[in-house]
């Protein structure tokens, strides 16, 4: 299908969604987030896609939510529409089973930062700038900014970032634990895609179970999380890929996973 605000492509077993509103610094309008939801749903249904990469532009991954989408809203309308989650991209990504990598260059602010944090991890260019500056508009983060930021960088730094609205550069984001690793702006796409391809080369069953188990670490006490992990580990023994992986290791050959 055709898209107005994103560009969708595939690289072997990796699907890519490129945010493409350059004239608006990739501001996340409702239409863009609907298209993100549509593309994610299509990749979820495609058995040849094992991982997804979400990218933006050189100057901005996404400079925030589109203020025009919220300027007219009153409180009742925001509640009735469940704004911003009325756009399907947010809800689809929240419960997405396949691994999703965000590649961030330039500004990654407000809703853009929340979108990046909704992915499983972030690869950042040295030009990246992260922040939740909603307080400057007398509002607050509304798509996970206070929740995911606190889990990623800790309470004190999340409080300081959200209450002051200041921006955090790529090196600070790396040291704080917001991003997995940094690279040069010129290498960002190649490096992030290579990472996504390494993930996609594994059995999709094991990568999805790993993703689910790590996410449960933030929802469960340790004893329950350890039990959940153990049951997921034991589940792997029912898959054809587990047998193939073990046999390939013993036979000293590359595995040929079939996602079964």
The residues annotated with a catalytic role in the active site are 65, 111, 114, 134
Structural contact between residues 54 and 189, judged by C-beta atoms closer than 8 angstroms: no
- Collapse the DSSP code of 35 into the 3-class scheme (helix H, G, I; strand E, B; otherwise coil) and give the result: helix
The phi-psi region of residue 165 (left if phi > 0; otherwise alpha if psi is between -120 and 50; otherwise beta) is left
* C-alpha to C-alpha distances, 207 to 64, 204, 247, nearest whole angstrom: 30, 5, 19
User: How far from 122 is each of 161, 218, 227, CA to CA, in Å?
Assistant: 18, 18, 28
What is the separation of C-alpha 223 from the centre of its chain, rounded to a whole number of angstroms?
27
DSSP state string for 155-190 = HHHHHHHHHH---EEHHHHHHHTSSSEEE-GGGHHH
- Give the full edge-to-edge strand order of the sheet including 181-183: 6-11, 14-19, 51-55, 100-104, 121-125, 181-183
Sequence length of the chain is: 260
């Amino acid at each position: 299908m055709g898209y107005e605000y994103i560009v969708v492509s595939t690289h072997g077993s990796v699907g890519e969604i490129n945010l493409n509103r350059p004239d608006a610094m990739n501001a996340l309008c409702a239409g863009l987030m609907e298209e993100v939801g549509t593309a994610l749903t299509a990749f979820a249904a495609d058995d040849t896609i094992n991982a997804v990469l979400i990218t933006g532009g050189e100057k901005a991954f996404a400079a925030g939510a589109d203020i025009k989408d919220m300027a007219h809203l009153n409180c009742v309308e925001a509640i009735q529409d469940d704004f911003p989650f009325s756009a399907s991209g947010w809800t689809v990504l929240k419960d997405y089973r396949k691994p999703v990598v965000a590649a961030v260059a330039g500004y990654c602010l407000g809703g853009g930062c929340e979108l990046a944090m909704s992915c499983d991890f972030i690869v950042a260019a040295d030009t990246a700038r992260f922040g939740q500056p909603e307080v400057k508009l007398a509002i607050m983060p509304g798509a996970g900014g206070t929740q995911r930021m606190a889990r990623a960088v800790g309470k004190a730094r999340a409080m300081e970032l959200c209450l002051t609205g200041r921006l955090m550069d790529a090196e600070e984001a790396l040291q704080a634990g917001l991003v997995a690793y940094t690279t040069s702006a010129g290498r960002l796409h190649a490096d992030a895609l290579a990472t996504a391809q390494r993930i996609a080369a594994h059995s999709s069953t094991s990568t999805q179970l790993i993703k689910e188990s790590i996410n449960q670490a933030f929802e469960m006490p340790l004893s329950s999380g350890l039990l959940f992990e153990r049951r997921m580990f034991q589940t792997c023994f029912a898959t054809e890929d587990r047998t193939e992986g073990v046999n390939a290791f013993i036979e000293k050959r590359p595995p040929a996973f079939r996602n079964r």
